[in-house]
Amino acid sequence: MEHSSQLLKGVLDMVLLALIAEEPSYGYEMVDKLQQKGLELVSEGSIYPLLSRLQKKGYIAGYFVESAGGPPRKYYRIEKSGRQQLADWSEEWNRLSAGVGGVLDGHHGGNHG
């Protein structure tokens, strides 16, 4: 579990950017979407520092939307530079995951040693 958490931490910026690229979202909604996709380790508190960092880098922009019966919600939308960064990270991730997959497949291939 701890190892999963460390692995996820390394890719969470990319995953959040991908979610926001699909459609503008607010924090709780992103956590819910990630949990539906099997990333249960993500909590609302853990994503706000990441969203803030992505915003400071200019990859996303935050804006407020009135919500029925509550305070306004802060939504995030992707910026042009964020789309480019997401494309770069996706390419890097595909190379990395293919390489890791190749090593793991070789490991499960039988008795080597």
Count of domains for the chain: 1
Q: For residue 50, is it within any domain?
A: yes
Q: For residue 47, is it within any domain?
A: yes
Query: By residue range, what is the domain housing residue 37?
Result: 2-107
| Statement: residue 2 has pLDDT above 90 | no
Using CA atoms, how far apart are residues 28 and 42, in angstroms rounded to an integer? 10
- Residue that has been written with the tokens 């996706």 in this structure: 90
Taken in order 6, 27, 49, 80, the sign of the CA dihedral is positive
Q: How far is CA 96 from CA 4, 6, 15, in A?
A: 17, 16, 15
pLDDT in tens, 44-101: 888 999 999 999 999 999 999 998 889 999 999 999 999 999 999 999 999 999 999 9
pLDDT of residue 1: 56
Q: Strands, DSSP E only, in 11-113? A: 25-26, 60-67, 70-78
Q: Residue 8 — pLDDT band, cuts 50, 70, 90?
A: confident
Q: Which two tokens stand for residue 111?
A: 């008795």
pLDDT of residue 5: 73
Q: For residue 112, is it within any domain?
A: no
CATH number at residue 90: 1.10.10.10
pTM value is 0.84
Q: For residue 113, is it within any domain?
A: no
